């Protein structure tokens, strides 16, 4: 836990300090631009140059003998270091170490935060001098505002980044565990709304991969078991053929080998179909179909195989969106199983209802029931898994390889529906196909 916090903290604070450093650098650049602008345009902020021009124009309207008095009174009134000197007594050497800006009759000398201004009255040898005076800087209150704003932004960024950083660390850990073979690893619920879709996508991907790997393991185990039995029988029959002399027994062993080869061929065909369904979704053709006609067609095809197939239509003239080919296949599987495992009676019921979700989706339901021995509760949990059979010995005489119902479940996934099993009031099992009408 401590290591996880250190790891998450290291990633978070690296990103956090990077962003804060960017803010500080940006602020420093703004200060430099501000100072540069002040140096190049002092009068726009101080009014010093404007005052010198105004005083110069004013004294020129009075006798020269009054200039000194006017300048002294102006200095007293505005509390400025203002004085009148002659150009001959002006010593520019004292400003040699300072920067200078010259515009018309005005010289501006500045050094660090001090400034001196000298205005030469036109056509005279008199100079109005102002300084040294403090160069204005950004108002302290505004500087405090800026610091507060930066601190607030820093806090907001901290609150925004910390949950995201923790989620990224959790996702990294889950990805690492998953990559090392722990297929049960999953990302926890995201603390950040920005990371939630990524965490959800990872968990969906992990669940899909886990299911494929589990299915692959189950498929490999089941296929090895299914192949072993007919191969063993064929091997035994071949050995007996080389020793048996009786023609009748020879034909019996030959027929056994032929039956085993047919069984292997059937197994391979079903495996290829299931593998195609499991690895990729075929191109479906969804159309609006009359469910009554679809079910009636299947019942007609099976009538000669069953003692009785009862049809109950609780949703007359019901149309639902589906792929006719695959729904036919799923319904055919259910009816065939009902005939095979029932005791002579099969009932097919069509109905519609509203789902319990928020949208109250209209659902179509086709239920196939029989009067057989039913299905145990334990087997109901895995009956739609590949290679699942009620007979754990996998005796071929029980019928099928356990792939038919797995294919039905996959078909209903494509229709955003479900295939389910319950007990029937007829005594046997009730298999139901359910999917949205629209």
* pLDDT above 90: percentage of residues in the chain: 9
Q: Is residue 222 situated within a structural domain?
A: no
What is the pLDDT of the chain when averaged over all its residues? 77
In whole angstroms, what is the distance from residue 50 CA to residue 150 CA?
36
> Region 21-44: what's the mean pLDDT?
61
Q: pLDDT tens for residues 242-281?
A: 787 788 888 888 888 887 888 788 777 767 766 666 655 6
* Per-residue model confidence (pLDDT) at position 367: 94
Q: Is residue 220 situated within a structural domain?
A: no
Shared-domain flag, residues 97 and 237: no
Q: Is residue 209 situated within a structural domain?
A: no
Shared-domain flag, residues 250 and 384: no
* Angle value at C-alpha 375, between 380 and 274, nearest 5 degrees: 55
> Region 128-133: what's the mean pLDDT?
81
Position 436 confidence tier, pLDDT thresholds 50, 70, 90: very high
Domains held by the chain: number: 3
Shared-domain flag, residues 239 and 317: no
In whole angstroms, what is the distance from residue 329 CA to residue 297 CA?
12
* Per-residue model confidence (pLDDT) at position 168: 79
* Domain termination residue (choose one: 111, 134, 157): 134
Residue 368 has pLDDT above 90, yes or no: yes
Among 37, 35, 49, residue whose Cα is nearest residue 102: 49
Could you tell me the end-to-end alpha-carbon distance of the chain, in angstroms, rounded to an integer? 49
φ/ψ (deg, to 5) at 431: -100, 135
Shared-domain flag, residues 319 and 429: yes
> Residue 412 belongs to what domain range?
287-436
* Per-residue model confidence (pLDDT) at position 350: 93
> Region 23-27: what's the mean pLDDT?
71
Q: pLDDT tens for residues 160-189?
A: 777 777 777 888 888 888 888 887 788 888
CATH of residue 332? 3.30.565.10
CA 316 → CA 57, 60, 290, 313, 364, distances in Å?
105, 110, 9, 6, 12
Q: pLDDT tens for residues 85-106?
A: 887 776 655 555 444 445 567 7
CA 256 → CA 23, 192, 221, 398, distances in Å?
84, 65, 25, 18
* Domain termination residue (choose one: 114, 134, 154): 134
Question: CB atoms < 10 A from the CB of 4, how many?
Answer: 12
Q: pLDDT tens for residues 215-244?
A: 677 667 666 766 777 788 788 888 888 787
Q: Sort 159 into a burial class: Cβ within 10 Å, 0-12 / 13-18 / 19+.
A: exposed
Among 74, 107, 387, 112, residue whose Cα is nearest residue 225: 387
């Amino acid at each position: 836990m401590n290591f996880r916090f250190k790891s998450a903290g290291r990633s978070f604070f690296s990103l956090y300090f990077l962003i804060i450093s960017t803010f500080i650098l940006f602020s420093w650049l703004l200060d430099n631009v501000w100072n540069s602008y002040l140096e190049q345009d002092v009068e726009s902020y101080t009014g010093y140059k404007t005052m010198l021009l105004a005083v110069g124009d004013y004294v020129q309207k009075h006798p020269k003998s009054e200039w000194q008095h006017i300048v002294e009174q102006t200095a007293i009134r505005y509390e400025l270091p203002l004085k009148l000197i002659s150009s001959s007594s002006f010593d520019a050497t004292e400003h040699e170490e300072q920067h200078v800006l010259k515009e018309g009759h005005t010289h501006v000398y500045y050094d660090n935060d001090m400034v001196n201004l000298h205005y030469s009255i036109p056509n005279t040898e008199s100079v109005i001098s102002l300084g040294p005076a403090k160069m204005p800087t950004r108002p302290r209150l505004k500087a405090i505002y800026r610091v507060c704003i930066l601190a607030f932004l820093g806090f907001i960024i901290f609150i925004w980044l910390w949950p995201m950083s923790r989620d990224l660390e959790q996702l990294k850990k889950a990805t690492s565990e998953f990559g090392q073979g722990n297929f049960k690893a999953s990302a926890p619920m995201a603390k950040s709304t920005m990371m939630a879709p990524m965490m959800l996508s990872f968990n969906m991907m992990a669940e899909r991969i886990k299911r494929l790997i589990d299915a692959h393991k189950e498929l490999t185990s089941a296929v090895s078991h299914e192949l072993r039995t007919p191969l063993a029988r064929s091997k035994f029959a071949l050995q007996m053929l080389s020793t048996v002399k009786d023609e009748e027994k020879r034909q019996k062993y030959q027929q056994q080998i032929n039956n085993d080869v047919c069984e292997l061929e059937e197994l391979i065909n079903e495996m290829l179909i299931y593998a195609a369904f499991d690895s990729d979704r075929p191109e479906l053709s969804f159309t609006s179909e009359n469910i009554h006609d679809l079910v009636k067609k299947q019942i007609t095809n099976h009538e000669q195989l069953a003692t009785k197939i009862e049809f109950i239509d609780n949703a007359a003239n019901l149309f639902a969106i589906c792929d006719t080919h695959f729904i036919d296949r799923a319904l055919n599987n259910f009816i065939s199983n009902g005939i095979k495992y029932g005791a002579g009676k099969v009932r097919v019921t069509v109905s519609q209802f509203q789902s319990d979700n928020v949208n109250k989706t209209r659902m179509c339901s086709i239920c196939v029931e029989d009067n057989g021995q039913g299905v145990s509760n334990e087997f109901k949990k895995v009956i739609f898994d590949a290679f699942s059979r009620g007979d754990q010995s996998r005796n071929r005489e029980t019928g099928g390889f356990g792939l038919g119902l797995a294919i039905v479940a996959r078909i209903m996934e494509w229709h955003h529906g479900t295939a389910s099993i319950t007990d029937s009031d007829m005594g046997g099992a009730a298999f139901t196909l359910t999917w949205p009408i629209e």
